Structure 1
Amino acid sequence: MNSSHAVGDLRVSDAERESVIERLQDAYAEGRIDHEEFDLRTHLAMTAKTRGDLSGLTADLAPAPWPGGGKGAPWEVQGAPTGEDRMLAAAAHAVAVPTLFVGPLVLMLLSGKRSEYVRRHAAEAVNFQITLLLLTIVTFGIGGVVYAVAWVLSAVAAVYALAGSGRFRYPWILRLVR
């Protein structure tokens, strides 16, 4: 067996591709890359075979910020979420349907101190509900039609959190709470 292969020659997993794509999405949202460059880099990430193929796609971007303002390791690295963490994170998304942003905010404040996993999911649910509320107010109630889609997205996010598969991000929302 030949162990002289460089790290850049190792094959990448779907999880590694998804991590790079999430970083590209963040960079696009931050205005660091334009739409065409985002499309190109995303395509290259999805078709990458080795770590060397992936490494150049985000090399010129600022490093992804660590949740919590730089204290501790990234939340994905802090260990697998417990069953209780997954249940509370799923509840943060599900309770948002009847309570808007209040339920997830309470969960974020109470359980978020104990678990970064719960705090991140609850913060995402709070941001999603605040965005929907602002949309409804700005459009004088017409945006309320979007709440039907919101229920579906909240259910998807709850299942994602319950599975413990990591970070779920709602598309096209204001991220006011971190």
Structure 2
Amino acid sequence: MTVAGLRLSLPALQYPKTKLLILTLLTVNMIVYAVVDTLTTAIDAATWLVLLLIYEWEAHGNGLPVAESTMKKVRTGLIAVIVSVFFSYLDDSEWLDVGNSLLWFALIAVMELEVRRPGIVMKHANLFWLLTLTIFAGLIGTAGIWLWQQAWLDAYDALLWIVAFGFIEVDLFDFLKRRQPHDLSNQ
């Protein structure tokens, strides 16, 4: 692909700089929500950002500076906040937010299984690969609905988080290399 005369390929992206850019955009996103939207959405954005940083730290850090039990408690507390936000969306009948939250819960469950029960995930690798693709397809669909509704901030937020988890947590390049469509027919 060429952009303004420059040849650009996805593998050529400098991964750490891409991560920093995405984390910066997510931080700005959180601030924007705090300024122009509801307290609930600001808390939601902040909690997801901290949770993403913890997952990144656990997956790629050189050891945690706090005890594993402490980190587990922090992660559990963050997930409890996210569940509370989900119930506020449910209570307010914000159905698109409810569906979006459920898809993110599914992605977190898959990621937790990959970290906590890698044997199960490896045993059923094709199923988990398809499940992850399905979840991301649902998230992209949700972002598309927000675009269609001209809910620009929600659409931007959704697309930014898809990119963030795609590059930072799932490692999109490795994920797409793991399975090709012809691999699925060899089951």
TM-score (norm 2): 0.31
Q: For CA contacts below 8 A with separation 6 or more, give which structure has more relative contact order.
A: 2
Structure with higher Rg: it is 1
Which is richer in helix?
A: 2
TM-score (norm 1): 0.32
